[in-house]
Amino acid sequence: DIMMTQTPLSSPVTLGQPASISCKSSQSLVHSDGNTYLTWLQQRPGQPPRLLIYKISDRFSGVPDRFSGSGAGTDFTLRISRVEAEDVGVYYCMQATQFPITFGQGTRLEIK
């Protein structure tokens, strides 16, 4: 199975300031079709996960443009340009290149 490692595990951020989460995979996430199926999920308190970003940098329907993804191969980053109160929660990177899909440990975003 592909192992996903996130840093940091906790991120206290001031409202209006940027935040960044790193994710590394234990092997390349490039699929045989040439795409890289690295996704980012958000889980607000008491809610199910929600898809934010897929294929490294494509924002899912309804996701604000303050969320962006980047990276390649085994190293990926989620950035929030200006954190808002509604962004509090846990963020997971997830690889969907091969089964089983695997997740990072999660990064808890909290407001300072």
Partner 1 sequence: QVHLVESGGAVVQPGGSLRLSCAASGFTFSDYGMHWVRQVPGKGLECVSFIRFNGNGIYYADAVKGRFITSRDNSKNTLYLQMNSLRPEDTAMYYCAKQQYLLIPDYWGQGTLVTVSS
- Applying CB under 8 A, the residues found at the interface with partner 1 are 31, 37, 39, 41, 48-51, 54-55, 60, 92, 94, 96-106
Of 6, 2, 3, the residue nearest 92 (C-alpha): 6
Q: Which is nearer to partner 1, 18 or 110 (CB)?
A: 110
CB 2 → partner 1: shortest distance, Å? 11
Residue 101 CB, shortest distance to partner 1, in Å, is: 5
Closer residue to partner 1 (CB): 24 or 31 = 31
> What is the rounded distance in angstroms from the CA atom of residue 6 to the CA atom of residue 58?
20
Residue type, 31: H
C-beta closer to partner 1: residue 16 or 32: 32
What backbone phi and psi angles, to 5 degrees, belong to 46? 75, 10
* Contact between 9 and 108 (Cβ < 8 Å): yes
Our CB check for partner 1 shows the closer of 22 and 102 to be 102
Least spacing, CB of residue 64 vs partner 1, in Å = 17
For residue 52, give the 3-state DSSP assignment: strand
DSSP H helix total and E strand total for the chain: 0, 11
